[in-house]
Structure 1
Amino acid sequence: MDIIWGNRDDLKTFLKEIGKYPLLKPVEEIELGRRVKRLTAIKDACEGRLDKLDLQRYAETHDLSMSEVEQAVRSGRAAKSRMITGNLRLVISIAKKFQHRGVELLDLVQEGVLGLEKAIDRFDPDKGFRFSTFSYWWIRQAIARLTASNSRAMKLPIHIAGKVSKLERLSVEAKANDAVLPPFPQLAKELEVSVARLHDLIECSKPCVSLDAKGCGSDSTPGDYLESTNADPLALLCNQEDQDAIADVVDSLPPQDRAVFILRWGLAEEKPLSAAKTGELLNISKDEVRVREATTMRLIRERVL
């Protein structure tokens, strides 16, 4: 089944396609698993290469004909494909449990399929386990690692991400039941961590907001409303003897650029102004304010610093 991942319509197409493939029966799992197991054995013997020369060497080593080895490879590949299509419903059911964690459902499903492939390669049908039981952990692990890596602005170690996810789940369950989280000592015991580490997990669970993130229905960003905390910004750029040279550069600027620099660095006011406020005063956009300020700073670096 060939699916091109890209937009939301693909999910409908994918769900429609997998309905064409029936679930596997226990007898089928065993028979298909043995065929894949033989394919895996051939791959291991050929060190992962399945070109004609390697297959010929394998056939000679195991006293088999070339046609028998090629048939085993084709049969194993077909069996693996059938095991994948027969368990896609399981992948989707697991992926849905990880929704709303910053990763699209299609990406979760795609990562789950990779985990499913690993499970197929490691499945031993002669041990008596159902394949769905065996593959569940591999699929879940692949999806959980994807969400841990991509759902946060700062990547957390896998074991920490697992603790944070459990903490968030307990919080959601408490809200759903109109209850409150248990006291910290009890919560730390349930998470199997110390109280001090619990505080760290709570900090890790807080969402990060980019200073460049635009708000709903607005072009403003959090960074536009942050003012500099430096009382004398020029002191950060140069020493005392360079300030006269900087003043000469500022005096040589076009009137608009000079006004932007003075307002942004607080040379005429008690406090520096944000890009948004500067733009309002000069009747220009905040993006133009940033461009003019960057041009001035480049001239100062070239001529003075």
Structure 2
Amino acid sequence: MTGRTMIADKEEECQGEVAVEEDHHSSDDPIFDAVQIYFNEIRKKPLLSAQEELRLARLVKEGDFDARQKMIEHNLRLVVKIARHYINRGVTLLDLIEEGNLGLIHALEKFDPELGYRFSTYATWWIRQNIERAIMNQSRTIRLPVHVVKDINIVLRAIHELETNGADSSLEEIAEKAGMTLEEVRWVMQQNEKMLSLDAPLDIDPMLSIGESIPDDKNLQPDMLMENFEMENLVAQWLGKLNEKHRLVIERRYGFNGNEIATLDQIAQSLELTRERIRQIQSEALRELRNLLSRLEISQDMLIPGNFPSEM
């Protein structure tokens, strides 16, 4: 069932609050009316308690269709809440919601209620992944892998922060700010067919610059902070299954557990090992994590933020 079908049938709802003013006046825009009806309908569903969610999730695992529908309906607000963070990224809100709903359904199919965390925490990853991939696929003429587009955004944000005061930034400064090596920055910049000025207006919104369209992870809303806190706890549990050296390299390489993102060279210097040895340790650790996440039916994208190609 897609978002458009759900809107047409006036279905559903989800975790989190959707702040939408009710408009009882007629609109000349049928799409606006459909979205307004959808928002009004999904607000009517009460949030599930942890106990009710656990009961329904167990029934879903047993193949109960009614429980599946109820879990979806009571979590549609979560999709809208997340989708609103991606407005003005080249995809309409309606399409963002549709993609997010598909992620929600996929999350429900994969969710194991016995693992001990709330469904909304698990579903958030799948919803974001679906939405971000839709944006990346629809907003670029040349299709690039998801992790490459994320790398480009990281470099663009680094340039934006370095050049806030009008000064030009060197490649070395960009690499340090982005937490990459010079080779990685050069590679990322080569993948972007046209490095546009951060102050250039976007085709989709003349009032919005590229720099403004890149999400700023430093200014998260309280609900997003709570989701990140829950995810960080899960990540800590997974990393705890690695040996000390593997865990240390992954934590520093990807900025987990309060560490600054470090390059292979920086880690090699601090541990008094060669860069190649650190790369080998990183590959071994990622392989262990992939196997663990595969057993849990969790995408690696949920753990590794995509800041680097894994072998670079």
Query: Normalised by the size of structure 2, how large is the TM-score?
Result: 0.49
More helix by share: 1
Greater RCO between the two (CA within 8 Å, min separation 6)?
2
Which structure has the larger Rg?
1
Query: Normalised by the size of structure 1, how large is the TM-score?
Result: 0.50
